Amino acid sequence: MDLAARIQRLEDIEAIKQLKARWGETIDSNLGAAKIVALFADDAVIDIERYGRHEGRAALEKFFSQVRFTWMFHCFIPKVVEIAEDGRTARGRWRLWELGTKPRPAPDPSGEPVWIGGNYDDDFVKIDDEWKFKAVRLKLELISPYDQGWVKKPFAD
């Protein structure tokens, strides 16, 4: 691989890491479904264990507008980003460690603090020299109540 190709590969990896960071920041800052969906390709898919599979912009916007948490703090631990030989597609994997507040059933107005952990396996596509999410898959390992922990209760009801 010549120097220009190596530099392009490194720039692409960094752009994908920045895209993933913008994803978390957009959700955590409550910037809205439209801002989140802007990070995705038109035909993108999101598949989150326990929350279903959603395909295309309209389905993604509907899903993100109905987010079931009132507060989130995403922490991504990168595992690997692989740029395909075509330079237009890529795959990335991250560990997720997140704090969140899950709404309690009515009439209780307070939220339930939870720990959230899992593994992301994402596909990316480069559109007009900008990386976008093509597929986001999250395998959840826990959404555990803070006061009980993941050993006693790995998933909040």
CATH code for position 8: 3.10.450.50
Does the residue 157 lie in any domain? no
Owning domain of residue 106: 3-152
Does the residue 54 lie in any domain? yes
- What is the per-residue pLDDT for 105? 77
CB 89 within 8 A of CB 134: yes
- What is the per-residue pLDDT for 39? 98
- What is the per-residue pLDDT for 68? 80
Distance CA 119, CA 97 (A): 9
DSSP character at residue 6: H
CB 28 within 8 A of CB 64: no
Distance CA 30, CA 32 (A): 5
pTM for this model (two decimals): 0.92
- What is the per-residue pLDDT for 156? 80
Distance CA 66, CA 54 (A): 12
Instruction: Flag residues of the chain having pLDDT under 70.
Output: 157
SS3 22: helix
- What is the per-residue pLDDT for 32? 92
